[in-house]
């Protein structure tokens, strides 16, 4: 490819709305273009790398015996109604009505249509197991689309679904996908960990996520320093230790003018956050719930949502909090609520005595509050996030350390959840009907591409791993008007093209500095510069991830390029 012909524009400035390196670099290198919030086009250079990621995934899926097909993205509501997810998806699902009043959605994930296809095709155990996959656009009206294609509203997912006769078969299919996923992310040059994941309220029997370690990751991951346990923070169980058995003191109301936050309280009361219990009011599918956890903890919304099998869960509005507590925001507590609502108490709080809570009165708190005596809990459950130093929920001995990660892949043992809901059965050896046992396996193709950049870049730009680089080699003649210089560059370019190497020649009439900058930005793994010593047949070769260049003869340079 000739740079002068390439449809692209690089950008020097960091785009204002791009917060993380991969998003900034994808825009600066002209790989993607925003069409609307969470909706992007891929430009030719970006689409080349995108297709390389896709082909690594496709190769490994085929290798694992999965068969590719493609389903519509525009789907009738019926299948999702059959599984109950038409309601469950809530506002995240893009829905629409056709001219005849029939309702459709843009598929957010395809368990239902795959289950229907297999149900309508497979009769006998002889046709099982089968694993099908597609690489296709998905649509989710995300609450917070951000970070470019990392969390977008239209994105490409490789989604695979396995169908087996029994749990044992599922185990085998799941393991095949697990191995294929490892090969995929290894080939893509990613540093990742595999963690136990949440299976949701009505979830299947097991689930793991492939997490790319990154500070910009939206997921928290916990590791045990002793037994190797690794889990998503959403899922990691919290172990409560050492119940406080001290004597219950009489509850008293105290004046706390303008003390609305935990920090205010710490300053005012001169004790630490562990003496307080915060009460946060949630709106869970239209029902208000007060949730209590220790002052220094965070409520885990996934655990809370699972407790209520929630579709939509959000913080109650300020106005609702004021109505419910009869006080200004910041003074919520379990005693004296004006409306009767559920009170969910974190397990850890249940082991505390004589704590401080908001008094449901502006500028007042209660001290020496005790569960059971002063208020009743509707539910006591683990609803907080694990934190650094917590005891490992698996071995009970090690301590947890925390890191951040980007979820690029997710594998899930669904069991018979969808086959029961959609009556996906087969006849076994004895002619008896059984439900198929399913698994599902997703990879975000665009998110994976972004994660690769997140782990492979420097201040100057992207550093593509060879497997996904849009072009493996770039030839840069420093003087396009110099016949000798240009002739040698063209010769190298032609030789590389002929040997089937993805090669780019920067034939623009630009200063070398400009060309080097662009070349670093777009991250081409190997640069061959034809400069001063072109007359002698000597060129400079530099790898993108190395600081220094070396001088080689043109034919040595071609040989070096063929090696990557």
Which residues are at the interface with ligand ATP (CB under 6 A)? 109, 140, 142, 151-152, 155, 157, 407-410, 442-444, 446-447
Residues 125, 108: contact at Cβ < 8 Å? no
Q: Which residues contact 98 (CB under 8 A, 6 or more apart)?
A: 104
CB of 388 to ligand ATP, least distance (A): 22
Report the distance separating Cα 329 and Cα 17, nearest Å: 32
Question: Where are the extended beta strands (E) located within 27-176?
Answer: 32-36, 39-42, 67-68, 74-76, 94-97, 103-106, 130-139, 154-164
List, as one string, the DSSP characters of 228-280. Answer: --EEETTT----------PPPPPPEEEE-TT--SHHHHHHHHTS-GGGBEEEE
CB of 144 to ligand ATP, least distance (A): 9
Compare residues 147 and 163 and give the one whose CB is closer to ligand ATP.
147
Q: Which residue is nearest to ligand ATP (CB)?
A: 444
Residues 234, 405: contact at Cβ < 8 Å? no
Report the distance separating Cα 13 and Cα 29, nearest Å: 11
Residue 277 to residues 266, 283, 308, 391, Cα–Cα distance (Å): 12, 19, 22, 21
HSE on the CB side for 224, CA within 13 Å?
20
CB of 177 to ligand ATP, least distance (A): 13
CB of 460 to ligand ATP, least distance (A): 27
Q: Which residues contact 368 (CB under 8 A, 6 or more apart)?
A: 248, 249, 250, 251, 252, 354, 355
Compare residues 309 and 458 and give the one whose CB is closer to ligand ATP.
309
HSE on the CB side for 219, CA within 13 Å?
30
Compare residues 31 and 349 and give the one whose CB is closer to ligand ATP.
31
CB of 351 to ligand ATP, least distance (A): 31
Report the distance separating Cα 368 and Cα 357, nearest Å: 9
CB of 140 to ligand ATP, least distance (A): 5
Compare residues 25 and 377 and give the one whose CB is closer to ligand ATP.
25
Compare residues 150 and 530 and give the one whose CB is closer to ligand ATP.
150
CB of 139 to ligand ATP, least distance (A): 9
CB of 76 to ligand ATP, least distance (A): 21
Compare residues 217 and 525 and give the one whose CB is closer to ligand ATP.
217
CB of 385 to ligand ATP, least distance (A): 15
CB of 46 to ligand ATP, least distance (A): 15
Residues 320, 355: contact at Cβ < 8 Å? no
Residues 526, 544: contact at Cβ < 8 Å? yes
CB of 284 to ligand ATP, least distance (A): 19
CB of 210 to ligand ATP, least distance (A): 7
Compare residues 190 and 557 and give the one whose CB is closer to ligand ATP.
190
Compare residues 456 and 542 and give the one whose CB is closer to ligand ATP.
456
CB of 57 to ligand ATP, least distance (A): 11
Report the distance separating Cα 232 and Cα 217, nearest Å: 12
Query: What is the 3-class SS of 333-379, one letter each residue?
Result: CCCCCCCCCEEEEEHHHHCCCCEEEECCCCCEEEEEECECCCECCCE
Report the distance separating Cα 467 and Cα 119, nearest Å: 38
Compare residues 145 and 525 and give the one whose CB is closer to ligand ATP.
145
Compare residues 217 and 531 and give the one whose CB is closer to ligand ATP.
217
Burial (CB count <10 Å: 0-12, 13-18, 19+), residue 462? buried
Compare residues 277 and 408 and give the one whose CB is closer to ligand ATP.
408
Query: What is the 3-class SS of 26-68, one letter each residue?
Result: HHHCCCEEEEECCEEEECHHHHHHHHHHHHHHHHHHHHCCCEE
Compare residues 313 and 425 and give the one whose CB is closer to ligand ATP.
313
Residue 423 to residues 77, 87, 108, 460, Cα–Cα distance (Å): 17, 19, 21, 55
Compare residues 109 and 162 and give the one whose CB is closer to ligand ATP.
109
CB of 407 to ligand ATP, least distance (A): 5
Q: Which residues contact 487 (CB under 8 A, 6 or more apart)?
A: none
Q: Which residues contact 549 (CB under 8 A, 6 or more apart)?
A: 527, 529, 540, 541, 542
Residues 73, 107: contact at Cβ < 8 Å? yes
Compare residues 204 and 295 and give the one whose CB is closer to ligand ATP.
204
Residues 401, 388: contact at Cβ < 8 Å? yes
């Amino acid at each position: 490819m000739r740079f002068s012909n390439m449809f692209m524009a690089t950008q020097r400035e960091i785009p204002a709305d791009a917060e993380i390196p991969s998003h900034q670099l994808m825009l600066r290198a002209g790989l993607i273009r925003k069409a609307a919030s969470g909706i992007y086009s891929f430009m030719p250079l970006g689409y080349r790398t995108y297709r390389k990621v896709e082909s690594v995934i496709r190769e490994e899926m085929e290798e694992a015996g999965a068969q590719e097909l493609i389903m519509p993205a525009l789907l009738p509501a019926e299948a999702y109604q059959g599984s109950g997810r038409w309601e469950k998806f809530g506002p995240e699902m893009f829905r629409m009505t056709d001219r005849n009043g029939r309702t459709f959605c843009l598929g957010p994930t395809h368990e239902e249509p795959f289950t229907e296809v297999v149900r309508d095709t497979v009769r006998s155990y002889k046709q099982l197991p089968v694993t099908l996959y597609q690489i296709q656009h998905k649509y989710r009206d995300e609450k917070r689309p951000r970070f470019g294609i990392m969390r977008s509203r239209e994105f490409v997912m490789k989604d695979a679904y396995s169908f087996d006769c029994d749990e044992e078969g599922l185990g085998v299919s799941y393991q095949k996908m697990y191995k294929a996923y490892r090969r995929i992310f290894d080939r893509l040059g990613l540093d990742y960990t595999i963690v136990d994941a949440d299976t949701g309220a009505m979830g299947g029997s097991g689930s793991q996520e492939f997490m790319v370690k990154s500070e910009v990751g939206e997921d928290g991951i916990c590791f045990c320093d002793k037994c190797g346990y690794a889990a998503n923070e959403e899922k990691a169980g919290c172990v409560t230790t050492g119940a406080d058995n001290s004597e219950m003191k009489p509850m008293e109301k105290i004046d706390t003018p303008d003390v609305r936050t935990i920090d205010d309280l710490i300053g005012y009361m001169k004790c630490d956050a562990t003496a307080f219990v915060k009460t946060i009011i949630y709106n869970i599918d239209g029902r208000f719930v007060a949730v209590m956890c220790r002052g220094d903890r965070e409520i885990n919304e996934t655990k809370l949502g699972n407790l209520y099998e929630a579709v939509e869960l959000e913080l109650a509005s300020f106005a609702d909090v004021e109505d419910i507590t009869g006080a200004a925001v910041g003074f919520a507590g379990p005693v004296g609520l004006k409306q009767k609502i559920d009170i969910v108490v974190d397990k850890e709080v249940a082991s505390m005595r004589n704590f401080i809570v908001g008094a449901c009165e502006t500028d007042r708190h209660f001290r020496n509050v005790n569960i059971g005596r002063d208020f009743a809990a509707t539910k006591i459950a683990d609803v907080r996030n694990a934190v650094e130093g917590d005891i490992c929920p698996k071995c009970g001995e090690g301590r947890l350390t925390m890191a951040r990660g980007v979820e690029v892949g997710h594998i899930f043992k669904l069991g018979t959840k969808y086959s029961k809901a959609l009556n996906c059965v087969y006849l076994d050896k004895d002619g008896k009907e059984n439900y198929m046992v399913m698994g599902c396996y997703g990879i975000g193709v665009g998110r994976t591409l972004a994660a690769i950049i997140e782990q492979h870049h420097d201040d100057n730009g992207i550093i593509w791993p060879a497997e996904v680089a849009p072009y493996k080699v770039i030839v840069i003649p420093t003087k396009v008007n110099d016949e000798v210089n240009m002739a040698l560059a063209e010769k190298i370019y032609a030789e590389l093209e002929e040997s089937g190497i993805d090669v780019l020649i920067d034939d623009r009439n630009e200063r070398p500095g400009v060309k080097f900058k662009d070349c670093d930005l777009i991250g081409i793994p190997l640069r061959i510069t034809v400069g001063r010593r072109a007359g002698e047949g000597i060129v400079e070769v530099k790898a993108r991830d190395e600081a220094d260049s070396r001088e080689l003869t043109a034919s040595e340079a071609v040989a070096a390029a063929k090696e990557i």
